[in-house]
Amino acid sequence: MRGVRHRLGTAWHAARAKPPGRPGVGGPLDRLDDEFHSAYERSRDANADDGPVFVVLANDLVLFHRGQRSEWSFSPRTYHVLKEVAHVPLALFSSLGNEPPEHALGRSRALLDWIERAQKDVAEAGLDAATTRDARQVLTLSAQALGGPLERAVVQKLAEATGPLLRRMIDRATALQLDALHEHVQAALDELGPAAVARLQVVVTGNHQARVRSLPMQYFRARLREPEGEERRVTYAEAVSTEQEALTLLATKVLDQSIASAFFGDPKRMQRDLLGDSAQQLLEARAFPPIR
């Protein structure tokens, strides 16, 4: 299986900073509460098994299994070419009215030069003919917009003209990334074998905006036949940026599900706000006035 691989040692349980002081009531109850948090953290770390776990970080797929870490990039160069071409008209749209005219003029000249150079790179990127035409047309239309003052009407016309091209480019970029992700995942699964795959967990990291339709989330939910929102084997890690944070989140989820099943008969009770179910019932029963 291709990829970067090395032994982890104790990387699963890297040292973490002690959380800030928790509010308390004073006396023995605080000591008991501290004991709960200590026991919780010990149990979480002790029960973080040795994989297999896929962690998706930006454009990288990382596999943790039996003390080893393997890594692959699932965004081919052609994907990045399309992404960067798409950013050109978006940059012009975003910069509207944000610079003094003299600065904007100098920057426009520099961008025109870069667009001319980029045309050659796009032509030689290895994209199919139709996608190459779309990408080059986006650059051409952007260059035309830079031929005069970057006014609102000009930028709006650019957005309308490039929108259909960008949608087709997004479709192609998505296919490129999805195919690359599938290739690496399937190679890893073939090497893991059925017994390990049956225990596989996945953590997909990302920002808030990507949560609903994250490409890796959709892919792994489809492969593991997991309905949206269930997060039984596929977990979304919002605002997580490191592998250790992702692994800690997974261990937390597993422990929380065990506790919630034992105490509440609902394994997902602690994956929601613990007060949420009671709050919903109380809000339905009470007639709080609307805020106007």
- Average pLDDT, 10 consecutive residues per value, the chain (292 residues): 46 41 78 90 77 92 94 95 96 75 66 94 96 98 88 92 97 96 97 95 87 88 91 91 92 90 89 84 89 91
Give me the pLDDT at residue 11, please. Answer: 38
Strand partners, 55: 62, 203
DSSP letters for 192-218: H-HHHHTT-EEEEEE-STTTTT-HHHH
- Can you give the pLDDT at residue 273? 79
Please state whether the predicted TM-score (pTM) of the whole model is above 0.75.
yes
Q: What is the pLDDT of residue 60?
A: 96
Nearest to 272 by CA among 231, 233, 243: 231
Q: Do 50 and 69 contact (CB within 8 A), yes or no?
A: no
Burial class (CB in 10 A: 0-12, 13-18, 19+), 117: exposed
CB 253 within 8 A of CB 49: no
User: How many Cβ atoms sit within 10 Å of the Cβ of residue 185?
Assistant: 22
* CA gap 286, 118 in Å, rounded: 62
Give the per-residue pLDDT at 7: 43
Under 8 Å between Cβ of 203 and 247: yes
Instruction: Please report the pLDDT score of residue 166 as a whole number.
Output: 97
